[in-house]
Amino acid sequence: MPRCPTSVVLLALYPQSLLLQVTHVSIHPTAVISPEARIGQNVTIGPLSVVEPDVTIQDGCVLESHVVIKRGTTLGQGNRVFDGAVLGGYPQHVHMPERPGRLVIGDGNVIRENVTIHRALAEDRATLLGNHNLLMAGAHVAHDCRLGDNVIVTNNAMLGGHVIVEDRAYVSGAVAVHQFCRIGTLAMVGGQAHVIKDVPPFVTVDGLSSFVVGLNQVGLRRAGYTTDEISRLKEAYRVIYRGGLRWKEILVRLAAEFSSGPAAHFHEFCSTTARGIISERRLPPGATLKLRREPEDESELRVKAG
């Protein structure tokens, strides 16, 4: 891989050039690139961008203007990072580590304006972003998160520390995900939802109520799932949310009745949850509501109202 010292020397020699072409690397003259950064072939770095030491940017990446790549960050091939994004910042934590971990980003990701992704807390750990993900403007990915492949995180969504997002999940705008939560494969989380428990795979979370409201059938069809596979997912969903079973009974039935195919992932996911899973908005059969007692007279009503 070509290294940056050559680029820096040429930049000093030819400051009048608007865009330097250095061994297949295009670096704007106002960009600040550390000599200790490792830059691959066919990389473009735009105006006023900063690349710190101990950074690896592999072939074909494009950094637009004002992009900051902090130390300890690795970008795979073909990533495009838009204006104002900051990748590899220190974890936002009350106990700031002296030596935080790393940020490792895969291939073919699109990271839009003002996205922030932080490094892991521990020196031997990494925040991980897979391949072909789309992070829209203003999204935040905290320390120690792990995102799979083909994930979409839309505008102003916030992922707390240690959050796991599995492949092809969709996190809508302004969603807040509590630390240590998981979002399963092909789950769809509606806008402004508050995620404080795990989101099982293949389901839809309503943004208004933050409860599960059924399978993500649109996402399943777009992903190429067959009619039979979707039918089996529906059956497993009913076991979890409509059967009125205890948690251990749910896990037993999932393991026994859905041992293969996509529906098997329900048991794998649910059996490893530490926070529990988000409830369904519709109550299961036999559930009762604790109704508020109506006041007996008008004077009591005034007292209740303060």
Q: 143, 162, 265, 267: which is the annotated catalytic residue?
A: 143
How far apart CA 206 and CA 239 sit, in angstroms, is 20
* 99 and 123 Cβ atoms separated by less than 8 Å: yes
- Residue owning tokens 């006023």: 48
Separation in Å, CA 47 to CA 15, 63, 89, 109, 237 = 13, 9, 20, 21, 50
CA 263, distance to chain mean position in Å, is 23
Two tokens at 189?
């989380």
Closest CA to 55 of 124, 112, 125, 4: 4
CA 112, distance to chain mean position in Å, is 13
Q: 88, 148, 161, 173: which is the annotated catalytic residue?
A: 161
Q: 28, 140, 144, 148: which is the annotated catalytic residue?
A: 144
Closest CA to 115 of 129, 126, 101: 129
How far apart CA 83 and CA 152 sit, in angstroms, is 19
Separation in Å, CA 263 to CA 115, 198, 241, 293 = 34, 17, 14, 43
- Whether residue 60 lies in the annotated active site: no
Closest CA to 85 of 146, 140, 31: 140
Residue type, 219: G
- Whether residue 161 lies in the annotated active site: yes
Instruction: Please provide residue 129's backbone torsions phi and psi, each rounded to the nearest 5 degrees.
Output: -125, 125
| Active-site residue list | 143-144, 161
